[in-house]
Amino acid sequence: MIPMQRAASLTIWQGPVEPEPLGGGITNVNFVVNDAGKRYVVRVGEDIPEHQVMRFNELAASRAAHAAGISPKVVHAEPGVLVLEYIEGKTLMAEDVRRRPMLERIVPLIHRCHHEIPKYFRGAALIFWVFHVIRDYAHTLETGSSTYRNELSALLDIAVKLEAAIGQVTLVFGHNDLLPANLLDDGERLWLIDWDYGGFNSPLFDLGGLASNNEISEVDEVWLLEAYFDAPLSDDLRHRYQAMKCASLLRESLWSMVSVLHSTIDFDFRAYTEENLGRFQRAWTDFKQS
């Protein structure tokens, strides 16, 4: 059954519905459904083993995030389908995230994600360790005869250096995919959505991912770290953060390479790969010079 038919055929609807495609997703196929005067988001997508996306984990994280007050309510779930309350608001773009007043609103949201969700999360939970993900992606690319496989050895060598630079970490519950499109502003508050990659991780990954995905300035990166940790930025934290920021960009690059091989979503993953590889190489050069 095609995704739109799947969304329309759910037994929860009170009458016939006509799902409307909701753009922006590059892991799921999403729709907006109007039913009995209310609007809902329907996310259609099975497990994606090559990306370590497990829908049981997405569901548990979504429920916990709602209980923590940072994500919309789960209305219905069944294998391959997640239905959420629709939030009327603006999907942020990178230029929105980069503005200091918006960052001042985002930092408390990330902090609540990290420290409140574990209070409500139920059942088995995943750990999202970026270096495991990188190594697993490299294996997928090698065995899949990716056109990028000749670059993997050098990239894995860099990953070893970055993992050593980060050292020991404190675990929190990370969103692990802080693209601007996963932040919604309803005019009064911010919402954090899409928990495909939710899992326990270092807070530095979300902070580095937020900065790299939205190209936050160096001045605002310092502010971001000091605001999150409520302390002046030390040289040690700066070094570990910069390593994690590099790792975040490397993971995004490899994610896109794997998507070239496996995704059926209509998206230019090759262009996205080249964009992120360029940003990773610049961040790696800056890290080596720091």
**Reduced to 3 states, what is the DSSP secondary structure of residue 91?**
strand
**One-character DSSP codes across 32-54:** EEEETTEEEEEEE---BGGGTB-
- Predicted model pTM: 0.95
Would you state the pLDDT for residue 24? 66
Q: Is the pLDDT of residue 263 over 90?
A: no
CATH code that applies to domain 90-289: 3.90.1200.10
Would you state the pLDDT for residue 168? 94
Secondary element (H or E) of residue 75: strand 74-78
- In the numeric block, which tokens belong to residue 266? 């209509």
**Reduced to 3 states, what is the DSSP secondary structure of residue 214?**
helix
Secondary element (H or E) of residue 238: helix 235-262
Q: Where in the chain is the domain with CATH 3.90.1200.10?
A: 90-289
> What would the pLDDT profile of 179-233 be if each residue is shown by its tens digit?
999 999 999 999 999 999 999 999 999 999 999 999 999 999 999 999 999 999 9
Q: Is the pLDDT of residue 103 over 70?
A: yes
Task: For residues 165 and 162, give the distance between their C-alpha atoms in angstroms, rounded to a whole number.
Answer: 5
Q: Is the pLDDT of residue 254 over 80?
A: yes
Task: For residues 128 and 58, give the distance between their C-alpha atoms in angstroms, rounded to a whole number.
Answer: 13
> What would the pLDDT profile of 44-59 be if each residue is shown by its tens digit?
999 999 999 999 999 9
Q: Is the pLDDT of residue 265 over 90?
A: no
Task: For residues 149 and 138, give the distance between their C-alpha atoms in angstroms, rounded to a whole number.
Answer: 8
Q: Is the pLDDT of residue 66 over 70?
A: yes
Q: What is the mean pLDDT of the chain?
A: 95
Would you state the pLDDT for residue 4? 93
Q: Where in the chain is the domain with CATH 3.30.200.20?
A: 3-85
Tell me what the mean pLDDT of segment 91-117 comes to: 98
Would you state the pLDDT for residue 264? 79
Q: Is the pLDDT of residue 25 over 70?
A: no
Q: Is the CATH code 3.30.200.20 the one for domain 3-85?
A: yes
User: Which segment of 104-113, 223-232, 266-275 scores lowest on mean pLDDT?
Assistant: 266-275
